[in-house]
Amino acid sequence: MNSASQRQSVFDFHGKPPLLKALPLSLQHILAMIMGTVTVPIIVVGAVGASLADKMALIQISLIFSGVSTLIQLYAIGRFGARLPAIFGVGFAYVPTLTAVGAQYGLSGILGAQIAGGVAMMVVGLFTRHLRQWFPPVVAGVVVLVIGLSLYDIAINYMAGGVGSADFGAPVNWFLALATLLVVLFVSQFCQGFLKLASIICGIGVGYGMALALGRVDFTPVLNAPWFTLPQPLSFGLSFHGPAMVSMVIICVINSVQTIGDLSATTVGGMNRELETRELYGGLLGNGLCTALGSFFGALPTSSYSQNVGIVAMTKVISRYVLALAALFMLAAGFVPKFGALMTTIPLPVLGGATVMVFGMITVTGIRLITKDEMSSRNITIASLALALSMGVYAVPESIARFPEVVQLVIGGSPIVIAALVAFTLNVILPRRSLADEEAEREAVEARLSEG
């Protein structure tokens, strides 16, 4: 590839492709993330009983800080930012803790505790070069694998129409979802060139058109959204409560492990290499900074978006210019709410059909990470036990119903927490034996048996 082509390549991190090529690729990332960015503040507002005005304000500032957080990760400010093709935004992983804290201490209690959580993330980032040895591919891979597996129910619920919808599971929802999925599959496997890279947006376009024809698109959010808003600092206040701060610190530290997994999946799946230490601590520092600063404006804590990691792994498009366009759109949607409201008109079955394969790609990336280490009995034990316990408790949350509430929220709310804790702990305490060591041990046992 000559230098001019490389400068415009979507497969080069520093590549800047023509705008007309970059926009559809960027739109895929926007569509993958915007529902999560909008849904988290809606859930939190429902838990704390805030007003409609508060809900709109939380949505807008979440969109703005999702854009800011992503730009920091793409371009970095000093040591803050990974300089990797990663999308960051308000994360689902925090929802159980946010709703519990909000129900007891309100929005001000959430935002006050969030400052402590952001600082904790930065502390983890500062010491990550010393901690890196404790997160080999088998540990990071298990986390990525569980991230992918834990997203499947989200995709299936979307495909069925969305949890709580009046027509959940209706054939028309599955028709839209499967039609969208078939278009994504066809374009990604049978088309060539630029069209192949834009398979997800092609699927969403066809699915959205079919939904329009069936009268399944509601433009009410666009009509009701204002044209322009500005964030107001400290509009929700800040209050500090010990239990809330402890809960937030724990979930933010655990989320740092998810960030390690997502960044590892980005480099392995999209760039065919392992994550560098500078990228790792930069990503954690940047995420912690945005989480802490966002508290003063009402933005909820940010994290890496696994669904966008899947898109990077699937398309191999790593141009930060493409992802920066998505971040700029999030900023625009935050200041001009009608833009963001338009994205929310995409029916959930269409989104589910477009993203289910992306979530599968995350799972496969986790498997690839795990198998980067040799499959010794030790590593198989780490991976299998972490996977069994995390997904088992996730499937049967009532199994820890008698534990303290904080433990239930931190451990039972996400299988990623259990997977990270089990994999990390086993990696520390299990004796390190390579395949050669295990073979030598078997030969020694066989020799003793023969002598006997």
Q: Is 317 helix (H, G, I), strand (E, B) or coil?
A: coil
Residue 324: its pLDDT value, please?
Answer: 93
Contact 31, 345 (CB under 8 A): no
Contact 376, 438 (CB under 8 A): yes
Show the tokens assigned to 201.
């947006």
Per DSSP, the residues of 158-188 read HHTT-TT-TTTT-HHHHHHHHHHHHHHHHHH
Provide the angle, in degrees to the nearest 10, between the axes of the packed helices 348-370 and 171-190. 50
Measuring CA to CA, how many Å separate 279 from each of 82, 123, 125, 309, 449?
Answer: 4, 15, 10, 15, 51
CA distance linking residue 333 with residue 324, whole number of Å: 14
Model-wide pTM > 0.75: no
**b/e sequence 234-258, b meaning 16+ C-beta within 10 Å:** eebebeebeebbebbbbbbbbbbbb
CA distance linking residue 354 with residue 155, whole number of Å: 9
Q: Cα 236 from chain centroid?
A: 26
Contact 58, 45 (CB under 8 A): yes
Q: Split the chain (452 residues) into runs of 10 and give each run's mean pLDDT.
A: 65 86 83 72 71 74 90 92 89 72 84 93 84 77 80 83 83 93 87 70 87 86 78 83 80 78 83 84 92 91 82 84 91 80 78 80 80 86 92 84 73 73 89 80 79 66
Residue 137: which residues within 8 A CB-CB, separation 6 or more?
A: 264, 274, 369, 370, 372, 373
Phi, then psi, of 89 in degrees rounded to 5: -170, 180
Nearest to 225 by CA among 347, 60, 350: 60
Residue 410: which residues within 8 A CB-CB, separation 6 or more?
A: 96, 97, 247, 250, 251, 254, 417
